[in-house]
Amino acid sequence: MRLKRAIYPMSKQLCLIRHAKAKEIKPEQADFDRKLAKRGRADAEVMAQQLLSLSLKPDLLYCSPAERTRETVEIFAQVLGYATEK
Protein backbone atom coordinates (compact mmCIF):
# COMPACT_ATOMS: atom_id res chain seq x y z
CA MET A 1 0.00 0.00 0.00
CA ARG A 2 1.32 3.44 -0.89
CA LEU A 3 0.53 6.24 1.55
CA LYS A 4 -0.03 9.82 0.43
CA ARG A 5 0.51 12.79 2.67
CA ALA A 6 -2.37 15.21 3.01
CA ILE A 7 -1.13 18.78 2.90
CA TYR A 8 -3.17 21.10 5.08
CA PRO A 9 -1.06 23.89 6.54
CA MET A 10 -1.69 24.66 10.20
CA SER A 11 -4.01 21.68 10.68
CA LYS A 12 -3.61 18.89 13.20
CA GLN A 13 -3.46 15.31 12.03
CA LEU A 14 -4.35 12.16 13.92
CA CYS A 15 -2.80 8.92 12.79
CA LEU A 16 -4.20 5.70 14.25
CA ILE A 17 -2.11 2.60 13.83
CA ARG A 18 -3.17 -0.90 14.78
CA HIS A 19 -0.56 -3.17 16.30
CA ALA A 20 1.33 -5.37 13.87
CA LYS A 21 0.74 -9.11 13.41
CA ALA A 22 0.92 -10.92 16.74
CA LYS A 23 1.84 -14.52 17.47
CA GLU A 24 -0.97 -17.02 17.82
CA ILE A 25 -2.38 -17.19 21.31
CA LYS A 26 -1.48 -20.21 23.42
CA PRO A 27 -4.10 -21.79 25.70
CA GLU A 28 -2.14 -20.89 28.84
CA GLN A 29 -1.40 -17.33 27.69
CA ALA A 30 -3.41 -14.17 28.20
CA ASP A 31 -4.22 -12.22 25.03
CA PHE A 32 -2.68 -9.16 26.73
CA ASP A 33 0.74 -10.90 26.79
CA ARG A 34 0.95 -11.86 23.10
CA LYS A 35 4.15 -10.73 21.41
CA LEU A 36 4.64 -9.69 17.80
CA ALA A 37 5.28 -12.37 15.22
CA LYS A 38 8.41 -12.15 13.08
CA ARG A 39 6.23 -10.87 10.22
CA GLY A 40 4.69 -8.29 12.57
CA ARG A 41 8.08 -6.86 13.50
CA ALA A 42 9.02 -6.59 9.82
CA ASP A 43 5.66 -5.03 8.88
CA ALA A 44 5.87 -2.48 11.70
CA GLU A 45 9.29 -1.35 10.48
CA VAL A 46 8.01 -0.99 6.91
CA MET A 47 5.04 1.11 8.04
CA ALA A 48 7.24 3.31 10.21
CA GLN A 49 9.60 3.81 7.25
CA GLN A 50 6.58 4.86 5.15
CA LEU A 51 5.69 7.55 7.70
CA LEU A 52 9.31 8.69 7.73
CA SER A 53 9.43 8.86 3.92
CA LEU A 54 6.37 11.13 3.99
CA SER A 55 7.97 13.37 6.64
CA LEU A 56 5.18 12.45 9.05
CA LYS A 57 6.70 12.51 12.49
CA PRO A 58 4.02 12.49 15.17
CA ASP A 59 4.39 14.75 18.19
CA LEU A 60 3.29 11.88 20.42
CA LEU A 61 3.27 8.10 20.23
CA TYR A 62 0.80 6.53 22.63
CA CYS A 63 -0.22 2.92 23.05
CA SER A 64 -1.96 0.51 25.38
CA PRO A 65 0.15 -1.53 27.81
CA ALA A 66 -0.47 -4.78 25.89
CA GLU A 67 2.78 -6.44 24.83
CA ARG A 68 2.14 -6.39 21.06
CA THR A 69 1.18 -2.71 21.07
CA ARG A 70 4.26 -1.76 23.09
CA GLU A 71 6.49 -3.72 20.71
CA THR A 72 4.86 -2.01 17.72
CA VAL A 73 5.28 1.50 19.12
CA GLU A 74 8.89 0.78 20.13
CA ILE A 75 9.68 -0.15 16.52
CA PHE A 76 7.99 3.05 15.31
CA ALA A 77 9.90 5.09 17.93
CA GLN A 78 13.21 3.59 16.88
CA VAL A 79 12.64 4.17 13.15
CA LEU A 80 11.32 7.71 13.72
CA GLY A 81 14.19 8.59 16.07
CA TYR A 82 12.35 8.84 19.41
CA ALA A 83 13.56 7.80 22.82
CA THR A 84 11.24 5.28 24.48
CA GLU A 85 9.93 5.28 28.03
CA LYS A 86 9.96 1.96 29.88
Q: Among candidates 74, 26, 81, 27, which has minimal Cα distance to 52?
A: 81
pLDDT in tens, the chain (86 residues): 566 666 666 677 778 888 999 999 888 989 899 999 999 999 999 999 999 998 888 888 889 999 999 999 999 999 999 876 66
Model pLDDT, residue 86 = 60
Are the beta carbons of 58 and 86 closer than 8 angstroms? no
Cα(7)–Cα(81) distance, integer angstroms: 23
The pTM score is 0.79
- pLDDT at residue 1, rounded to an integer: 56
Q: Which residues contact 31 (CB under 8 A, 6 or more apart)?
A: 25, 66
Q: Which of left, alpha, beta for 81 (phi over 0: left; psi -120 to 50: alpha)?
A: left
